[in-house]
Chains A and B, each alone.
Chain A
């Protein structure tokens, strides 16, 4: 057969004991940077700060005082830029030689921002909300974006999940399952997991996740969960996989998919090895253009060399010998090694034509041919 060209690009989830992780840390609107290029930062350090303009309320003073909009500016007691408190009189109208007085009050604490002579509306802006961005990783600031943010780089153990809920958290990894095929039940969770990140094995259900939340765990990492449990936890169906802002006190990271699936050995072993160490996790998932996967980052103490930083950017394809995971039924979740990648299109049982590959399962050595689109590479470095 002709040279088996690895012209296959099925990005797998990264599971790496030692790699270079870089993160852009940006403010939502321009603000002040608190660190310089070259600074060493810890995950909880605040690296940039800004103030989001306060909420806005409008009061139709023309209607309240029965004035024409054009008369409102003259009726104002408070002017643009004046600070006001909720209920404070901001405009008044005197009539009948000053005997009758109508007043308009501020709807909230804040500052008068605008008075319109066309609509008669007065805009009051509330106090600004401070926004701070933390470093998220223990590492070095390798680049700064003036007024916006920085790039933090670290050498770390890095594990990507497939789906997650809720945002950035930190905590000590706590192993509660003894093997990658062991599920985590409600009763398996002790009381003292507050602030920790629970590592489970193959599967957990909503009862166990709720218990983790009640006990104050910062995160739960597990191979599989039922899709209907996710719905019950959130109270709504996740229609589109764009997550990260769920109001949950515990971040969830699912490493393999929905249903009962064993955790990949590489993932489990790495988590087990790092039990007791502090990890940064983020459940944010975005499966659209510009995929974001949930992640677990455990910073290492070594410095990153330039060579290592470059190597981290390499994209690895699938070739004969690659370790892959089946990511669709049949045989969903099973691991195998690629034995053949025929270049020609093959007719599937559905009668569709697709590029396929043949793998040999790790557990029983059986061979199985399936569409290339239905496997993902497991990185072994």
Chain B
């Protein structure tokens, strides 16, 4: 890694080495703006017979070379040319990686709901998968914990525990457990497992005594120095460093790749999180982001500046599809399927997708089934996120007499759907859905936004690349994120409340940018679409009926700007907490098709005539 003038770069090549595909993008300065120019992809080559990640990187860049019509690789095709010289090469080359299963960690802390939870947050925030969370009070016997540690073989362990000046004994007990288990790392049986200690600083010496000889031990600042405060930064940074030094060193070809890049390689989810956090801070908004992959689903949120990330390791659209069925249950999946389907047959189809994960739906019915499963995968991943993204537990609060009855002890979810400004979706099923209205529907149905919420998708899955770019040139990353990465689908307007079929829920009046006025009265159980392209927002007056809340309290009207997008404004009066889907099969199928028709979701139900003909 040389020293470069990152402020004045003219071009950036960035790759993301995923477990199946390596994706390359090219960003160039066009006039005064940074823009995405082209992208290329190739199969990842971490596994046999190649066992060298750089082969896939070079192949993906070769595709960029061909599409762009200029040279980025040396004559022998074995090196990336940096910096840009005339028309040849790029100024900067950067990369992220999740190949080989990403970074897999185990975390430990004294109290499950306090230091152990903070440790998990630090690990997740750094982009890792948390395989298990050990705590002194997790109800497992010592030998059971030891067996678990041995069995899981993580890439790294983060040990926390005790506020500064707090318990030493319990922390050392955990260190003793780790020492007894003497865990071996997942990759390579010969090297020592990295352990980061980020607990009570008074216990450092005793922890070192236990673990120094048996592991590669590093100490960082306590991640929970006081009950009221987390200090996750130092532990997160150390995880990144060790990811580079240890885990990446073991993966085939990464030594070479690390020498090529102009900034440290980041774990893919770490880079995506960085970008979402950045976008939220820059615009001072609350954001939820999701990346749904074949094996895992990552959810990110920023509420009032607090960033959280969760990874649902076994919720995904191919490898983990059967697990979506197992977790959600057949009934929940069928509630999104707008047709009659034989249940055992559906089970076999899902099983077959799991064992042949690269197949794609060739028929519309198959696509609808996949999108039904996606709704449930997203719903479950978001539910897990809401349970994890909570305020610090164990914090003593000053209370007034009015609080005395609320039983508030911390641990409430930070995810407040009414104050959420933007949902960003990413991953194949959302980014590559044949119609954008399908992506918007999937996100609305699974996240159930409340009030007024904008919805966007990552156009071609480039958030990881931009996340790592933000490390070297924030300005370029933000510019490309706004102009080429995010596709604004539109806005969802959904009041909270429950109702009965046919009852009025709200009236909305939109003063459109072209001077027209659009008025719409919504009944319970309806969806409606108002066409509003991206550009100037419309001024809206939303008047909820008694008992319905659009953000200003039940029955109170709201005036605000509403932004459009490639789909438009979706008015959703199907109710919230809960959303109502008819239980009767026939009625439900009719409703599902009616909702799809309104937003022009599928080609076979474009016209009501076709529907009437039973097609």
- How many CB-defined contacts (below 8 Å) exist between A and B? 170
* A55 and B169 contact, CB distance less than 8 A: no
Interface contacts beyond A57-B142, A238-B322: sample of 15 additional A-B pairs, CB < 8 Å, sorted by A: A69-B169, A226-B344, A238-B351, A239-B323, A239-B326, A240-B320, A241-B319, A257-B352, A257-B355, A258-B348, A258-B349, A258-B352, A285-B355, A328-B359, A348-B361
Which residues 154-189 in B have Cβ within 8 Å of A in the complex? 168-169, 172-173, 176-177, 179-182, 184, 189
A58 and B352: CB pair below 8 A? no
| A116 with B322, Cβ < 8 A, contacts A58-B143, A259-B352, A287-B355 known | no
User: Can you list, as one digit per residue, whether each of A238-261 has a CB less than 8 Å from chain B (1) or not (0)?
Assistant: 111100000000000000011100
- Mark the stretch among A81-89, A173-181, A264-272, A349-357 that contacts chain B: A349-357
Q: Are B348 and A327 in contact (CB under 8 A)?
A: no
A371 in contact (CB, < 8 A)? yes
Interface flags, B183-199, vs A, CB<8A=1, else 0: 01000011000000000
1/0 per position for A261-284, CB-CB distance to B under 8 A?
A: 000000000000000000000000
How far is it, in angstroms, between the C-alpha of A113 and the C-alpha of B357 when the chains are bound? 47
Contact call A374/B362, Cβ cutoff below 8 A: yes
The distance from the CB of B596 to the nearest CB of chain A, in whole angstroms, is 14
Known: A114-B180, A289-B20, A328-B362. A163 touches B323 (CB 8 A): no
User: Which one of B2-10, B41-49, B238-246 is at the interface?
Assistant: B41-49
With beta carbons under 8 angstroms apart, the residue of A28, A162, A259, A374 that contacts B360 is A374
Q: Are A30 and B189 in contact (CB under 8 A)?
A: yes
Give chain A residues whose Cβ lies under 8 Å from the Cβ of B348. 226-227, 257-259
24 pairs across A/B with beta carbons < 8 Å? A28-B184, A30-B189, A56-B181, A57-B143, A58-B180, A114-B179, A118-B168, A121-B176, A162-B356, A226-B344, A228-B347, A238-B322, A240-B322, A258-B355, A285-B355, A289-B20, A289-B44, A289-B100, A329-B362, A329-B363, A329-B366, A352-B434, A371-B359, A374-B362
CB within 8 Å of B: which A288-326 residues? 288-290, 313, 315
Does A38 touch B at the CB level, under 8 Å? Answer: no
How long is the Cα–Cα vector from A121 to B179 in the complex, in angstroms? 13
Which residues in B have their C-beta under 8 angstroms from that of A80? none
Partner of A352, one of B44, B169, B432: B432
A118 touches B603 (CB 8 A): no
Q: Is the interface of A mostly helix, strand, loop or mixed?
A: loop
Contact assessment for B169 and A119 in the assembled complex, using a CB-CB cutoff below 8 Å? yes
Q: How large is the interface on A (under 10, 10 to 19, 20 to 34, 35 or more residues)?
A: 35 or more
Query: Which one of B43, B190, B322 has the highest number of Cβ atoms from chain A below 10 Å of its Cβ?
Result: B322
**Which chain B residue has the least Cβ–Cβ distance from A224?**
B348
Asked if B362 contacts A289 (CB within 8 A), the reply is: no
Given A241-B322, A329-B366, residue A116 in contact with residue B172 (CB < 8 A): yes
Mask of B206-247 contacts with A, CB within 8 angstroms, 1/0: 100000000000000000000000000000000000000000
- Inside 8 A of A327's CB, which chain B residues have their CB? 352, 356, 359
Q: Verify B176–A351 contact, CB threshold 8 A.
A: no
Q: Which of B176, B206, B314, B358 contacts A240 (CB under 8 A)?
A: B314
Q: How far is the CB of B599 from chain A (nearest CB, A)?
A: 15
B295 at the interface (CB under 8 A from A): yes
Closest Cβ of chain A to B6, distance in Å, is 32
Question: B298-322 vs A: 1/0 string, CB under 8 Å?
Answer: 0000000000000000100001101
Pair B19/A289 contact, Cβ less than 8 Å:
yes
Q: Which among A230, A240, A330, A352 has the greatest number of chain B C-beta atoms within 10 A?
A: A240
CB distance from B459 to the nearest CB of A (A): 15
Partner of A227 from the list B43, B100, B347, B357 (CB cut-off 8 Å) is B347
Within the complex, the shortest CB–CB distance from B405 to chain A, in Å, comes to: 39
Check B364 for interface membership: any CB of A closer than 8 A. yes
Q: Give the chain A neighbours of B360 by CB distance below 8 A.
A: 328, 352, 354, 371, 373-374
Dominant SS at the B interface?
helix
Cα A346 to Cα B322 with chains together (Å): 29
> Which A residues, 29 to 82, have Cβ-Cβ distances below 8 Å to chain B?
29-30, 53, 55-58, 69
Contact (Cβ within 8 A) A241 B355? yes
Query: Which residues on the A side are within 8 Å of B389 (C-beta)?
Result: none
A-contact bits for B311-342, CB 8 A (1 contact / 0 none): 00010000110110111000000000000000
Q: Which residues of B contact A258 (CB under 8 A)?
A: 347-349, 351-352, 355
- A370 part of interface (Cβ distance < 8 Å): yes
> A125 within 8 Å of B by Cβ?
yes
Residue of A nearest to B318 (CB): A287
8 A Cβ contacts from A322-365 to B? 327-330, 332, 348-352, 354
Taking A119-B172, A121-B173, A121-B176 as contacts, is the C-beta distance between A58 and B325 under 8 angstroms?
no
Structural contact, A55 and B146, CB atoms closer than 8 A: yes
CA distance A68 to B348 in the complex (A): 61
Residues of the A chain whose Cβ atoms lie less than 8 Å from the Cβ of B78? none
- CB of B147 closer than 8 Å to a CB of A: yes
Shortest beta-carbon distance from B147 to chain A in Å: 7
| Residue in B180, B314, B325, B364 whose beta carbon sits within 8 Å of that of A113 in the complex | B180
Residue B99 lies at the interface, judged by CB distance under 8 Å to chain A: yes
Per-residue CB proximity of A101-140 to B under 8 Å, as 1/0? 0000000000001101011010101000000000000000
Contacts of A289 in B (CB 8 A): 19-20, 44, 46-47, 99-101
Most chain A beta-carbon contacts within 10 A, residue among B142, B326, B345, B351: B351
Q: Give Cα A163–Cα B44 distance, bound, in whole angstroms.
A: 23
**In the complex, B350 has a CB within 8 A of chain A:** yes
Residues of A within 8 A of B320 (CB): 239-240
A30 to B20, CA, bound (A): 31
CA distance A89 to B177 in the complex (A): 23
Say yes or no: A118-B172 contact (C-beta < 8 A), given A289-B101, A329-B349, A351-B434.
Answer: yes
CB neighbors of A among B531-585 (8 A): none
Cβ of A379 under 8 Å from chain B: no
B354 within 8 Å of A (CB atoms): yes
Kindly provide the distance from the CB of B97 to the nearest chain A CB, expressed in whole angstroms. Answer: 12
Complex contact A56–B356 (CB within 8 A): no
The complex places the Cα of A354 from the Cα of B360 at a distance, in Å, of: 9
Q: Which residues of A contact B99 (CB under 8 A)?
A: 289
Closest to A108 in B: B143
